[in-house]
């Protein structure tokens, strides 16, 4: 019998207004039932976070650090269960699910350390006669309750990138996970319930609710929520920002990441990394390799190697240890990708390998000659497809990367340091990754995009800056 996943509000488990089935993208079978939160449940969760905030913000750093360490330890004991829930609900291959869980634990561990490092600076004011005898002291304070809205594709790690820094700085949280993958949130809430009972932390410091979208909008509109941290589609993210009023908003949205392969690159290595970045988890990451730009002298060789490598990939059961490419999250999304590819072909593009769909399973696909205005080139494919295109000059390659509305990350394969710094100065992205794919992310680094890819930065220390605000204390020592 499928488990029933309830809401967690102010330390209590609560049934919602109805249950909705959670289905395996691979088998179509029901793996759980999620309890849909009402508007009243969301309001209660916001109230709990708001009421707990005055206590949480005064909690010493060492206590917050220990809380996060305990959460990391106890969640680690349930790693296998957590990974399996990600496989069942998201269709993520089991090897990738285990990696996600390990990364989530790393984020909690980093958050535990950063909880003790939130400081400020001493400012001398003797740069003018009027300020002689005065000094300034800055410190950072949590802004208020944080609304954390997370997507289906990384149901535990992306959540920890919001919850870990929030708890580290003394904020409280209302977490709204995806209704497609709620199992991870239930496991984490259970762990939090165990830890908070002896940690001296108010139970309302973490609340988990699973409402429909219309009721989830309360998290953006309610003035008691002071920070909105959203990861998901650009359409939804920017719409929520418009409704957020004066609250602080961090948006981690979509992309159509490009990798540039110069003629001096190690082609075998670049192919291997582009295949990993383009087709792991069926390309369902916002920094998945979607566009590969190759310098003309090596274009034919690179594409031939790429096609051979992609042809060797076989979509399969995400529960199998050797599976690299599992299903897309739904048949609807796979059909959407199929339509995008067909539209590109109608406009002159060529499928070099793949292109076939069976239900939610989509063959790893490489497409060439894609027109720049095609959805496959300028929008986020979010599936197992990459496009290839040649370039003649380095500046042309950089312009090709910039010509889409997105700007999350870009990869650059070259040994030419001058080209590296020209890319760093020119590319309109949040990060330029040299010698590797744009899919690289270390959980401590500042992560985020520009243009339609979002605003603000994650990475524990940088997320803490988003969730806090500086305050200045001026001391007139001359009066002492």
Q: Tell me the C-alpha distance between 197 and 86, whole Å.
A: 27
Radius of gyration for the chain, computed over Cα atoms and rounded to the nearest angstrom:
24
Q: Which of 418, 413, 451, 455 is nearest to 432 (CA)?
A: 413
Residue 36 phi, psi (nearest 5)? -75, 125
What is the full DSSP assignment across 174-214?
A: EEE--TTS-HHHHHHHHHHHHHHTTTT--GGGEEE--B-HH
Complete edge-to-edge strand list for the sheet that includes strand 3-5: 3-5, 30-36, 18-23
The DSSP element (H or E) to which 400 belongs, if any, is helix 394-402
CA atoms 375, 380, 383, 389: torsion sign: positive
Q: Tell me the C-alpha distance between 365 and 290, whole Å.
A: 11
**Active-site residue 252, yes or no?**
yes
* Catalytic-role residue among 89, 114, 252, 363: 252
The DSSP element (H or E) to which 387 belongs, if any, is strand 385-391
393 Cβ contact list (under 8 Å, min separation 6): none
Long-range CB pairs of 313-320, under 8 A, 24+ apart, other chains included: 313/275, 313/279, 313/364, 315/282, 315/361, 315/362, 315/363, 315/364, 315/384, 317/26, 318/26, 318/87, 318/91, 318/92, 318/93, 318/94, 318/97, 319/26, 319/87, 319/94, 320/93, 320/94
The DSSP element (H or E) to which 136 belongs, if any, is strand 134-142
Inter-residue contact 96 to 281 (CB < 8 Å): yes
**Active-site residue 286, yes or no?**
yes
Q: Tell me the C-alpha distance between 260 and 256, whole Å.
A: 13
* Catalytic-role residue among 72, 286, 380, 466: 286
List the catalytic residues. Answer: 252, 286
């Amino acid at each position: 019998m499928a488990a029933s996943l309830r809401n967690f509000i102010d330390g209590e488990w609560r049934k919602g207004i109805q249950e909705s089935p959670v289905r395996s993208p691979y088998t179509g079978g029901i793996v759980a039932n999620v309890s849909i939160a009402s508007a009243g449940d969301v309001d209660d969760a916001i109230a709990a976070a708001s009421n707990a905030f005055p206590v949480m913000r005064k909690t010493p750093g060492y206590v917050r650090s220990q809380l996060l360490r305990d959460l990391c330890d106890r969640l680690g004991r349930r790693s296998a269960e957590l990974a399996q829930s990600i496989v069942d609900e998201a269709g993520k291959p089991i090897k990738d699910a285990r990696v996600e869980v390990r990364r989530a634990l790393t984020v909690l561990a980093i958050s535990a350390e950063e909880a003790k490092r939130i400081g400020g600076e001493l400012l001398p004011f003797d740069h003018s006669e009027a300020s002689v005898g005065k000094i300034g002291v800055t410190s950072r304070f949590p802004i208020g309750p944080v609304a954390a809205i997370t997507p289906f594709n990384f149901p535990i790690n992306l959540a920890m990138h919001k919850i870990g820094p929030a708890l580290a700085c003394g904020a409280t949280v209302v977490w709204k996970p995806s209704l497609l993958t709620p199992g991870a949130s239930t496991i984490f809430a259970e762990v939090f319930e165990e830890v908070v009972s002896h940690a001296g932390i108010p139970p309302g410091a973490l609340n988990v609710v699973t409402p429909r979208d219309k009721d989830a909008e309360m998290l953006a509109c309610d003035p008691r929520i002071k920070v909105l941290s959203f990861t998901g589609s650009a359409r939804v993210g920017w719409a929520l920002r418009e409704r957020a009023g004066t609250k602080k908003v961090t948006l981690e949205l979509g992309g159509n990441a490009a990798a540039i392969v110069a003629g001096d690159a190690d082609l075998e290595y670049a192919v291997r990394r582009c295949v990993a970045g383009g087709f792991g988890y069926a390309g369902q990451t916002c920094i998945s390799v979607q566009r590969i730009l190759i310098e003309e002298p090596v274009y034919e060789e690179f594409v031939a190697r790429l096609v051979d490598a992609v042809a060797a990939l076989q979509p399969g059961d995400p529960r199998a240890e050797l599976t690299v490419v599992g299903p897309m999250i739904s048949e609807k999304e796979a059909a959407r990708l199929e339509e995008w590819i067909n539209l590109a072909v109608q406009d002159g593009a060529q499928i070099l390998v793949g292109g076939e769909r069976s239900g939610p399973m989509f063959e790893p696909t490489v497409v060439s000659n894609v027109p720049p205005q095609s959805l496959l080139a300028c929008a986020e494919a979010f599936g197992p497809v990459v496009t290839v295109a040649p370039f003649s000059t380095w500046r042309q390659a950089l312009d090709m990367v910039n010509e889409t509305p997105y700007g999350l990350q870009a990869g650059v394969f070259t040994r030419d340091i001058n080209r590296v710094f020209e890319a760093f100065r020119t590319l309109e992205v949040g990060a330029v990754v040299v010698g590797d794919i744009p899919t690289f992310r270390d959980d401590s680094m500042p992560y985020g995009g520009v243009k339609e890819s979002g605003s603000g930065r994650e990475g524990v220390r940088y997320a803490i800056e988003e969730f806090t605000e500086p305050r200045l204390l001026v001391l007139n020592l001359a009066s002492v």
